[in-house]
Amino acid sequence: MDQSSPSTSPAQTGLSNRGHLLTEQPNLNSQTLDQLSPLELVDLFNQEDAQTIRAIAAARESLAQAIELTAAALQKGGRLFYVGAGTSGRLGVLDAAECPPTFCTPPELVQGVIAGGAAALVRSSEGLEDLPDDGAAAIAHHKVHDLDVVVGITAGGTTPYVHGALEAARRRGAQTIFIACVPADQAKADADVAVRLLVGPEILAGSTRLKAGTVTKMALNILSTGVMVQLGKVYGNRMVDVSVTNSKLRDRALRILTDLTDLDRQAAANLLERSGQRVKLALLMHWSGLDAEVGEQHLATHQGDLRQAVLAAKGDREDRG
């Protein structure tokens, strides 16, 4: 946990001078950036981007804590909110938007909140990040409560909008996660879990859409996927809760069924139809012999965990002799 707080809030400190922040410092390896050939530039990016892998490894324990905390909250009926401004906000919205098609989650389960709203996704609204009251207002608008988890994302660690949102979320009893690319002594935060992704100065000084953006996307990939695994949305390494909403996803669903069973593609298509286009239910029906209605009941009893539902169905069948 990273629960120490400065004598004044990050929103009140001298934000006009952020040169001490790791994300704002000049990168000694790119001092001749404007003189590099295209190939040299690509090589330099490749060299610097390797730091994202090391940063994720260094944050492994805090990321695991974030997964555990979030999964427990969602199992109790809570929601996950990503809050950020600029690139950080866009990355949160992106990760949230990908959860429904990948894991068949309702849109309200994982939500992205960005300073400036939807318009800020396609047009820079970075000036709005300096308004902590707007962050607090967003938390109130979404009626955040004590079962929810709010993830504040800020590369430099000082964004007032994010800190305002986190403070408001804590007042409402929500659990909080803080993701930043600077060490704790440069930007403190009162949060249940602090994930520090230290990738060092950017090739283009201060442009945190580069390494900081990349490592943040990696961390959010791990967080949301890890949570969904914990919630039983995955069987083996297959997305068995995939939402079959277009031809690509239908093809993926059929491949999952044919790969995990002895069915050919036509038989898999028939099974998918009988299951109401639900891959998880189709697998349970095939492996247990249950019809769709009873299979649904089994999945509900086991909180959607396919492996547990299959084991229980087999146990019931053995008990009946």
Residue 152 contacts residue 162 (beta carbons within 8 Å):
yes
66-100 confidence digits (pLDDT tens): 999 999 999 999 999 999 999 999 999 999 999 99
CATH number of the domain at 302, please: 1.10.8.1080
Residue 145 contacts residue 119 (beta carbons within 8 Å):
no
| Counted domains in the chain | 2
Question: Which among 179, 199, 230 is the end of a domain?
Answer: 230
Instruction: Check: pTM over 0.85? Answer yes or no.
Output: yes
Say yes or no: 170 and 295 in one domain.
no
* H runs (alpha helix) in the chain: 38-58, 60-75, 86-103, 132-141, 160-171, 211-230, 247-260, 265-274, 279-288, 292-301, 306-319
Enclosing domain of residue 278: 247-319
* Overall size of the chain counted in residues: 321
Tokens of 151: 């993830």
Question: Which among 203, 230, 257 is the end of a domain?
Answer: 230
pLDDT tier, 13 (very low <50, low <70, confident <90, very high otherwise): very low
Say yes or no: 313 and 251 in one domain.
yes
Say yes or no: 254 and 174 in one domain.
no
In a domain, 164, yes or no: yes
126-153 confidence digits (pLDDT tens): 667 889 999 999 999 999 999 999 999 9
Segment among 3-7, 58-62, 277-281 with least mean pLDDT: 3-7
Neighbours of 45 (CB within 10 A): 14
Tell me the catalytic residues: 98, 129
